[in-house]
Amino acid sequence: MNPPLDMAAPQFQVTRPQPGSLAGLLQLMRDEGASDLHLSAYMAPALRVKGAMRFYACSPLRPDQVEQLLDEILSSRHKKLLDENHSADLGIELAGLGRFRVAVYFQRGVLCAAFRLLADGMPSFAELKLPESLAGLPGFRDGLVLITGSTGSGKSTTLATIVDEINRTSARTIITIEDPVEYMHASRKSVVFQRELHRDVGSFASAMRDALRSDPDVILVGEMRDLETIRTAITAAETGHLVFSTLHSRDATSTVNRMVGAFPAEEQGQIRQQLSTSLRAVVSQRLLPAQKGGGRVPAVEVMFVNNGIANLIRLGKDEMIYSAIETGLREGMQTMEQSLIYQVRNGAIDLETALQAARRPDLLRQRLALGQKGGF
**66 is in which domain, residue-wise?**
5-117
Same domain, 157 and 101: no
Residue 332 located in a structural domain: yes
Same domain, 35 and 179: no
Q: Is residue 5's pLDDT more than 50?
A: no
Same domain, 104 and 141: no
pLDDT classification of 2: cutoffs 50, 70, 90:
very low
Dump pLDDT digits (tens) for 222-245.
999 899 999 999 999 999 999 999
C-alpha to C-alpha distances, 186 to 92, 196, 269, 374, nearest whole angstrom: 17, 15, 41, 38
Same domain, 113 and 136: no
pLDDT confidence of residue 295: 80
For 221, phi then psi, to 5°, come to -105, 120
**Which residue among 117, 149, 165 closes a domain?**
117
Which of these, 52, 29, 179, 40, lies nearest to 114 by C-alpha position?
40
pLDDT (average), residues 111-140: 92
Residue 374 located in a structural domain: no
Residue 145 located in a structural domain: yes
Same domain, 226 and 268: yes
DSSP conformational letter for 319: G
Same domain, 285 and 203: yes
**Which residue among 89, 117, 145 closes a domain?**
117
Alpha helices in the chain (DSSP H): 22-32, 63-71, 76-85, 155-169, 204-212, 227-238, 252-261, 268-278, 307-315, 321-326, 336-345, 351-357, 361-369
Same domain, 138 and 89: no
Q: Is residue 13's pLDDT more than 60?
A: no
By the 8 A CB rule, do 302 and 334 touch? Answer: yes
pLDDT confidence of residue 148: 97
Strands 173-178 and 218-221: parallel
**Which residues, 6+ apart, have CB-to-CB distance to 297 below 8 Å?**
129, 287, 288, 289, 290, 343, 348, 349
pLDDT confidence of residue 3: 41
Neighbours of 153 (CB within 10 A): 22
Residue 232 located in a structural domain: yes
Dump pLDDT digits (tens) for 325-340.
999 999 999 999 999 9
* % of residues, the chain, pLDDT over 70: 94
Dump pLDDT digits (tens) for 303-315.
999 999 999 999 9
Neighbours of 193 (CB within 10 A): 15
Q: Name beta bridge partners: 105.
A: 87, 112
Q: Is residue 42's pLDDT more than 90?
A: yes
Same domain, 139 and 249: yes
* % of residues, the chain, pLDDT over 90: 69
pLDDT classification of 17: cutoffs 50, 70, 90:
low
Average pLDDT of the residues of the chain: 90
Dihedral in degrees, nearest 10, Cα atoms 274, 147, 135, 359: -100
Q: Please spell the DSSP secondary structure of 70-108, one letter per residue.
A: HHTT--HHHHHHHHHHSEEEEEEEETTTEEEEEEEEEET
pLDDT classification of 11: cutoffs 50, 70, 90:
very low
Dump pLDDT digits (tens) for 263-298.
999 999 999 999 999 999 999 999 999 988 778 899
pLDDT confidence of residue 294: 72
Total domain count, the chain:
2
C-alpha to C-alpha distances, 7 to 3, 215, 245, 287, nearest whole angstrom: 6, 55, 40, 32
pLDDT (average), residues 198-213: 89
Using CA atoms, how far apart are residues 376 and 328, in angstroms rounded to an integer? 12
pLDDT (average), residues 6-25: 60
pTM of the predicted model, to two decimals? 0.83
Q: Is residue 9's pLDDT more than 80?
A: no
**Which residue among 70, 90, 117 closes a domain?**
117
pLDDT confidence of residue 8: 43
CATH number assigned to the domain comprising residue 210: 3.40.50.300
For 41, phi then psi, to 5°, come to -65, 150
Residue 250 located in a structural domain: yes
Ramachandran region, residue 143 (left: φ > 0; alpha: ψ -120 to 50; beta: rest): left
Residue 220 located in a structural domain: yes
Dihedral in degrees, nearest 10, Cα atoms 338, 340, 344, 347: 110
State whether the Cα torsion 229-233-236-241 is positive or negative: positive
Dump pLDDT digits (tens) for 48-96.
987 788 998 888 999 999 999 999 899 898 999 899 999 999 989 888 8
Neighbours of 314 (CB within 10 A): 15
Residue 122 located in a structural domain: no
Same domain, 15 and 143: no
Residue 127 located in a structural domain: no
Q: From edge to edge, which strands make up the β-sheet containing 52-55?
A: 52-55, 46-49, 34-40, 110-117, 98-107, 87-94
Q: Is residue 175's pLDDT more than 90?
A: yes
Same domain, 105 and 188: no
Same domain, 74 and 161: no
Same domain, 140 and 113: no
CATH number assigned to the domain comprising residue 55: 3.30.450.90
